Structure 1
Amino acid sequence: MLAPSARVGCRSAIAPASAHARSAQTFKAFYATIRSLRQTYEPPEPDDVEPSEKDFILSLLRANPSLRDTKSYLASFGPRPQPPKSPALRPEETPVSTEKDVAADAETKPPDIKLAPSPVVASILNPVHRRTALIKLQAPFTDRQLESIARGMVYLEKLGLVSVIVVENDQLPRGDSGERAAMLEETMRVVNALEKQGARARPVLGAVVRLGPKPEDETSTEPRDYTIPEAHTFPSDLVHIRSALRAGEIPVLAPLALDSFCRSVRVDANDVIAALVRGMAEVAALDSSPALGEDSPSLSPDEVDLTPLRLMIITREGGVPSYARQGMPHLLVNLTSEYQYIRETFDPRWKAAHPTALSNLELARTCLAFMPPTSSAVMVSHRSPSHLIGNLITNKPAFSSSLPHALLQGNRKLTPHTPTLLRRGLPIRVVRTVQELDKRKMRTLLEKSFRRELEEDAFWQRMERDLDFVIIAGDYAGAAIVTREPCPPGTPSAIGPITYLDKFAVLPKHQGDGTVDFLWVALHDETYGLGLPFSANPNGGKEGKGEGRDLVWRSRADNPVNKWYFERSTGHVRQGDWVLFWCDAEVRLKTEEGRRANAGLSYLEDWERGRLATWTDVVMKIPSSWKPKTKQIGNAS
């Protein structure tokens, strides 16, 4: 994992002018030498490769994928189900075994039978389908740093994700006479680093994108929530990239584009990457077009799916600083609802240490608009090659953003170099009346999520009476329903009324895409996290203003989601077939801690006395929302 350490000094890649001219003349010979070395390359002895192989396996183990993560990975890279083969023999030709034959087979069978390896392990280590990722290398990097980055690229290739790399160098001044030669030399350094790690790399030294937006973009009036790329490609422009991928090589590109006079000029690498993401997605759509015929295979065995599955932005600075973590990186970003707010809350003091954070944030938003909904972008430090594997297999951040802030702040593994995962995400909004809800869509969401049939009349009558608010993700892709449960007369105001999480539901197709974390963060901001500065998120709710309230909910004791609840709750207690969970209002805990100073908190505070008994008495009497069924499957009442 990441280690908290000082920033590593970076050697400038700017060479003297004479060296520029000399290196420019030797590019072709240098590349020819590399290609010839491939043919005479002798594989190292097992002892030489063992450490890197151990690193690779350890990185897989650190990723710790869940069953859902593994299924998602195999859906992208694993073998496709094959139709059953017809029997080779006709029924009348099928041989019949006699008891004598069986006995003879038993006698000649070897005593030791070697079991086949697990198909899951075999599929991860031997991916059948190769996919692509766009990589931005925000140079300059030292040779040692490039070695670490190249090792990460090799790990990804072993897992089926082939990188298309665009190199940028912030320290190369624009308009310098040796600018192009120095940029190409930086590209060759990356190629050389990849080759030293055993990868096959191909420098693409010419321009593959064209300067300016696509012609149709200038005339289109369609609303967009992303920035139009300042460059574009046509299918014929990607021939060099496709050729490299087909040959099993990693294409490495310099940030060059053709202007209107067909001159190759240096442009911002972000424009090149955005144009490539869009162009590759469009070409992949053409490859799988029904016009090719239903019986034609989508991809030949040596072909790579050009649809970009990941965008990886590798820098020296790591992720985007977060106002909620005193400058530590954001863990997971919902670009649809948080993009503008992150820009507005970006502290100018962070600019020196994170000069490209906001431009890379904009790049991620633009690229993800053209990528599949399940895709993600990650902003990661050069120190973290293992995090690239974790992101590929799990498609999740290094640490869940919905974990308690106190736990995240006290986690030594959370450092300035912790990656930021970015998803296109969904809009988040808060409604406070039943009249604002689409009852049909809400019923569909609840029934698909819990796999139960809703008792509609009773449920909506209770909502009319007790509803506090509902947090909705997207077009009812997920929802958190919170009620205000009245307490018996005489209950202290510190205990009641109870803020009760009645339903927490996410559609199956959105489970694992970040929607669960986005919903829980919004739930935190509206209940037990209310009143804290980092609860002022743009979810349409109270924006952090107000007094935090304890959040209570119940779940079946055999619910597999309980492990997730245990990690996010302050406490829990078993009540027969149920588990009662709660999250303490964080402002109250901080106030009490400040009042007691070094004395610490007692096991039971005065304001806590009697609340557990009251919660249990009230919550356990809340009627079920579901029609009778033999066995409960949902994750709350």
Structure 2
Amino acid sequence: MFHHATLHGPHRFAAAAASARSAQTFKAFYATVRGLQPQPEPEDHEPPAENDFILSILRANPSVRDAKSYLNSFGSFPQPRPLSPSLPTPPPSVQQPALSDQLTTQAKPTDVPEVKPSPLIASILNPVYRRTALVKIQGPFTERQLESIARGMVYLEKLGLTSVIVIEHDGIPKGDDGEREAIAEETMRVVTALENQGARTRPIIGAIVRLGPKPGDDESSGLPVPEAHTVPSDLIPIRSALRAGEIPVLAPMALDSACRSVRVQSNDVVAALARGMVEASELDGHKRHSEVQDVSSDDVDLAPLRLMIINREGGVPSYARSGYPHLLINMASEYHYIQETFHPSWKSTHPTSLSNLSLARTCLEYMPPTSSAIMVNHRVPSSLIANLITNKPAFSSSLPHALLQGNRSLTPHTPSLLRRGLDMGVIRNVADIDKVKMTALLEQSFKRTLDADKFFTRLEKHLDFVIVAGDYAGAAIVTRELSPDSSIPITYLDKFAVLPSHQGDGTVDFLWVALHDETYGLGLPFSVNPNGGKEGQGEGQDLVWRSRANNPVNKWYFERSSGHIRMGDWVLFWCDAEKRLKTEGGRRGSAGLSYVETWERGRVSKWADVVTKIPSSWKK
């Protein structure tokens, strides 16, 4: 019953969780996770060894869907273009294990048997179309730290993503004597680190951007207006460097109204470049289309595919994770709330988090919808590869908190992935549902014809609430199903749907997190999210749903559910109300919870009896 094309692939620790659930299912005929703790993964704090480039790709564990999405950006053009001479493809001697859905080993290259590279990996290693990333390198950094960062930039260029770097140095006060010389020296340190890794670079010490809003800007447009701007001719040095296969490294300088080059905040330069490069890319497209002017085929697409903020702080601390970073941020609905809930103590440990959050919001408003931003610590260059190929956070934000808490791989330096996202809204009356848009969403997602009259008539009687993402880009429809032997209705997930065009852009996770907050997560601090619903107030309810046994999305459901039971052609899933389990677990202390608690006895058979009688919503 629940189906939409494909969802996010699992992480290794989630695969272990699925295995644990399977064992519990065998023992008790259905599974209930009790404080499941994943096995810790090794932390990636040290710079990778030589020839670790391919293993870094494999550690990203891309699904086939992830790799195809990557190739749509970098490998869909028929004539391959050779890489920069300074960045050759890996030599044949580097052994490449074939891509698998569940890579669980971290073997050294010498331990990996020599096999023929899979076509997927071979395609990733040979990009034929180059894209750009805007990168803010926010120092000060030691030489060793810059070496690690530079290696990450070189890895990205091998994969087709060329960085346009803007440097910052928090230790150089603005207005000090020798400021310009210090900034120029820092720029050259970054250049040297890149060249030591084999990259070709072009330092740009002079100003590229101009201070002040762009002439003709309309503040009523609703878009954030950068403090600086560019015109197409300003980007000539960047375009020239990219055409020559060089990484441009910019000092944070801008022209003021008197045409003097002055130091400004690097955020102003990055925001101006994000807007200017997107506008230049659109202009290039118009020129190609109209053939008014030839645009060189050697041009790199200037529209930034990624914004990368590399700092010493890592991601944005989260109120929901006791100060550990947000994993995935929906800027459309969470931006203001994150600012409001930013703990005063974090201002000393993460002094630039909010300004970087604001920078990401401004840039993402101008960048393509598929773009994302990542705030990452300098220690983990391989996380940049994972983000490029999968465009996902280190761990899915919709996974159960039991799988994330206590995981040593989730550290204060875990990256935060930021997406433009969508507004989330909760509807509690059928009359407020846009039936035309909802029907279109369900039919496109499920690829079936909805019996609309029958479906909405049933909702008139049973609807609990609907969570809508954006303009019906996704929806979770929850109903109250009455049981003959209980006065407490069953909280039933009737439909969970996301438009195919929004699968892979974070909407699925954003929607599930909102669903968690409105049902089985109610009453806990990390459920106080601004989605237009109860915002954490109330008592959590067990959430129940069913899916066809052959539904490929079940793999995703297994990771997010507390338990499941197979019922012939169907699988019944549920998520336990978390507050109740936490309260009971705290009361018992080290004794823990049993597989089946008193209040759970008979509930699965009751759920199965009610759910199997729910009529189909589809036309035959």
TM value normalised by structure 1: 0.83
Whether the aligned pair in 1 keeps the contact of 2:287 and 2:295 (CA below 8 Å) is: no
The change in CA–CA distance for 1:511 and 1:294 in structure 2 (over 3 A counts) is farther
1:379 aligns with 2:375: yes
1:435 to 427, 431, 436: 431
Provide the residue aligned with 2:63 in structure 1.
Answer: 66
Whether the aligned pair in 1 keeps the contact of 2:364 and 2:420 (CA below 8 Å) is: yes
1:447 aligns with 2:487: no
Provide the residue aligned with 1:413 in structure 2.
Answer: 409
Q: Which amino acid aligns with 2:180?
A: R
Looking at structure 2, the residues matched to 272 and 580 of structure 1 have their Cα atoms a distance apart, in angstroms, of 52
Provide the residue aligned with 2:606 in structure 1.
Answer: 614
Q: Which amino acid aligns with 1:154?
A: V
Deviation at 1:205, TM superposition (A): 1.0
1:273 aligns with 2:270: yes
Looking at structure 1, the residues matched to 274 and 495 of structure 2 have their Cα atoms a distance apart, in angstroms, of 39
1:463 aligns with 2:463: no
Deviation at 1:303, TM superposition (A): 1.6
Looking at structure 1, the residues matched to 545 and 503 of structure 2 have their Cα atoms a distance apart, in angstroms, of 20
1:505 to 490, 497, 504: 497
Looking at structure 1, the residues matched to 118 and 545 of structure 2 have their Cα atoms a distance apart, in angstroms, of 40
Whether the aligned pair in 2 keeps the contact of 1:69 and 1:394 (CA below 8 Å) is: yes
Deviation at 1:554, TM superposition (A): 0.1
1:283 to 276, 280, 283: 280
Q: Which amino acid aligns with 2:436?
A: R
Whether the aligned pair in 2 keeps the contact of 1:79 and 1:123 (CA below 8 Å) is: no
Q: Over residues 89-148 of structure 1, what are the superposed CA-to-partner deviations in whole Å (9 max), with x where a residue is unaligned?
A: xxxxxxxxxxxxxxxxxxxxxxxxxx9965433321111100000000010000000000
1:524 aligns with 2:516: yes
Deviation at 1:71, TM superposition (A): 1.2
Looking at structure 1, the residues matched to 449 and 601 of structure 2 have their Cα atoms a distance apart, in angstroms, of 38
1:255 to 242, 252, 255: 252
Provide the residue aligned with 1:515 in structure 2.
Answer: 507
Looking at structure 2, the residues matched to 125 and 291 of structure 1 have their Cα atoms a distance apart, in angstroms, of 28
1:215 aligns with 2:211: no
Query: Secondary structure of 1:333's match?
Result: strand
Whether the aligned pair in 1 keeps the contact of 2:252 and 2:265 (CA below 8 Å) is: yes
Looking at structure 1, the residues matched to 539 and 61 of structure 2 have their Cα atoms a distance apart, in angstroms, of 38
Looking at structure 2, the residues matched to 60 and 294 of structure 1 have their Cα atoms a distance apart, in angstroms, of 39
Deviation at 1:262, TM superposition (A): 1.1
Looking at structure 2, the residues matched to 446 and 169 of structure 1 have their Cα atoms a distance apart, in angstroms, of 50
Q: Which entry has the higher C-alpha Rg, 1 or 2?
A: 1
Deviation at 1:81, TM superposition (A): 5.1
1:3 aligns with 2:38: no
1:426 aligns with 2:422: yes
Looking at structure 2, the residues matched to 172 and 290 of structure 1 have their Cα atoms a distance apart, in angstroms, of 42
Looking at structure 2, the residues matched to 237 and 272 of structure 1 have their Cα atoms a distance apart, in angstroms, of 12
The change in CA–CA distance for 1:522 and 1:292 in structure 2 (over 3 A counts) is closer
The change in CA–CA distance for 1:225 and 1:259 in structure 2 (over 3 A counts) is closer
Higher RCO, 1 vs 2 (CA within 8 Å, ≥6 residues apart): 2
Whether the aligned pair in 2 keeps the contact of 1:2 and 1:383 (CA below 8 Å) is: no
Q: Which amino acid aligns with 2:249?
A: V
Whether the aligned pair in 1 keeps the contact of 2:57 and 2:386 (CA below 8 Å) is: yes
Provide the residue aligned with 2:366 in structure 1.
Answer: 370
The change in CA–CA distance for 1:583 and 1:225 in structure 2 (over 3 A counts) is farther
Deviation at 1:170, TM superposition (A): 0.5
The change in CA–CA distance for 1:401 and 1:289 in structure 2 (over 3 A counts) is same
Provide the residue aligned with 2:323 in structure 1.
Answer: 327
Q: Which amino acid aligns with 1:314?
A: I
Whether the aligned pair in 2 keeps the contact of 1:2 and 1:418 (CA below 8 Å) is: no
Looking at structure 2, the residues matched to 503 and 225 of structure 1 have their Cα atoms a distance apart, in angstroms, of 34
Instruction: Determine what percentage of the aligned residue pairs are the same residue.
Output: 73
Looking at structure 2, the residues matched to 186 and 514 of structure 1 have their Cα atoms a distance apart, in angstroms, of 36
Deviation at 1:52, TM superposition (A): 2.3
Query: Once superposed, what is the RMSD of the aligned Cα atoms?
Result: 1.9
Q: Over residues 342-376 of structure 1, what are the superposed CA-to-partner deviations in whole Å (9 max), with x where a residue is unaligned?
A: 00000010111101000000000000011000000
Q: Which amino acid aligns with 1:70?
A: A
Provide the residue aligned with 1:541 in structure 2.
Answer: 533
Whether the aligned pair in 1 keeps the contact of 2:133 and 2:305 (CA below 8 Å) is: yes
Looking at structure 1, the residues matched to 344 and 215 of structure 2 have their Cα atoms a distance apart, in angstroms, of 37
Query: Secondary structure of 2:496's match?
Result: strand
The change in CA–CA distance for 1:147 and 1:2 in structure 2 (over 3 A counts) is farther
Query: Secondary structure of 1:351's match?
Result: helix
Provide the residue aligned with 2:144 in structure 1.
Answer: 144
Looking at structure 2, the residues matched to 164 and 560 of structure 1 have their Cα atoms a distance apart, in angstroms, of 39
Whether the aligned pair in 2 keeps the contact of 1:202 and 1:249 (CA below 8 Å) is: yes
1:311 to 294, 302, 307: 307
Query: Secondary structure of 1:313's match?
Result: strand
1:134 aligns with 2:134: yes
Looking at structure 2, the residues matched to 2 and 471 of structure 1 have their Cα atoms a distance apart, in angstroms, of 37
Whether the aligned pair in 1 keeps the contact of 2:466 and 2:478 (CA below 8 Å) is: yes
Whether the aligned pair in 1 keeps the contact of 2:517 and 2:529 (CA below 8 Å) is: yes
Q: Which amino acid aligns with 2:320?
A: A
Name stretches of at least 5 consecutive residues in structure 2 with no aligned partner.
Answer: 1-40, 80-114
The change in CA–CA distance for 1:610 and 1:299 in structure 2 (over 3 A counts) is farther
Query: Secondary structure of 1:512's match?
Result: coil
| Equivalence map 1:225-264=2 (5 Å) | 225-226=223-224, 228-264=225-261
| Equivalence map 1:174-189=2 (5 Å) | 174-189=174-189
Provide the residue aligned with 2:334 in structure 1.
Answer: 338
Looking at structure 1, the residues matched to 145 and 287 of structure 2 have their Cα atoms a distance apart, in angstroms, of 45
Looking at structure 2, the residues matched to 240 and 451 of structure 1 have their Cα atoms a distance apart, in angstroms, of 49
Looking at structure 1, the residues matched to 116 and 577 of structure 2 have their Cα atoms a distance apart, in angstroms, of 53
2:468 to 465, 472, 476: 472
Looking at structure 2, the residues matched to 536 and 475 of structure 1 have their Cα atoms a distance apart, in angstroms, of 23
Deviation at 1:599, TM superposition (A): 1.2
| Paired residue total | 545
Provide the residue aligned with 2:83 in structure 1.
Answer: none
Whether the aligned pair in 2 keeps the contact of 1:200 and 1:248 (CA below 8 Å) is: yes
1:556 aligns with 2:596: no
Q: Which amino acid aligns with 2:584?
A: E
Name stretches of at least 5 consecutive residues in structure 1 with no aligned partner.
Answer: 9-49, 83-114, 629-637
The change in CA–CA distance for 1:284 and 1:212 in structure 2 (over 3 A counts) is same
Whether the aligned pair in 1 keeps the contact of 2:209 and 2:253 (CA below 8 Å) is: yes
Query: Secondary structure of 1:352's match?
Result: helix
Deviation at 1:293, TM superposition (A): 2.7
Deviation at 1:261, TM superposition (A): 1.1
Deviation at 1:70, TM superposition (A): 1.1
Looking at structure 2, the residues matched to 282 and 455 of structure 1 have their Cα atoms a distance apart, in angstroms, of 45
Looking at structure 1, the residues matched to 381 and 288 of structure 2 have their Cα atoms a distance apart, in angstroms, of 41
Whether the aligned pair in 1 keeps the contact of 2:305 and 2:371 (CA below 8 Å) is: yes
Query: Secondary structure of 1:314's match?
Result: strand
| Equivalence map 1:99-178=2 (5 Å) | 118-178=118-178
Q: Over residues 517-551 of structure 1, what are the superposed CA-to-partner deviations in whole Å (9 max), with x where a residue is unaligned?
A: 00000000000000001111000000000000000
Whether the aligned pair in 2 keeps the contact of 1:4 and 1:415 (CA below 8 Å) is: no
Looking at structure 2, the residues matched to 150 and 568 of structure 1 have their Cα atoms a distance apart, in angstroms, of 37
Looking at structure 2, the residues matched to 403 and 119 of structure 1 have their Cα atoms a distance apart, in angstroms, of 31
The more displaced of 597-606 and 199-208 is 597-606
Whether the aligned pair in 1 keeps the contact of 2:328 and 2:418 (CA below 8 Å) is: yes
Deviation at 1:79, TM superposition (A): 3.3
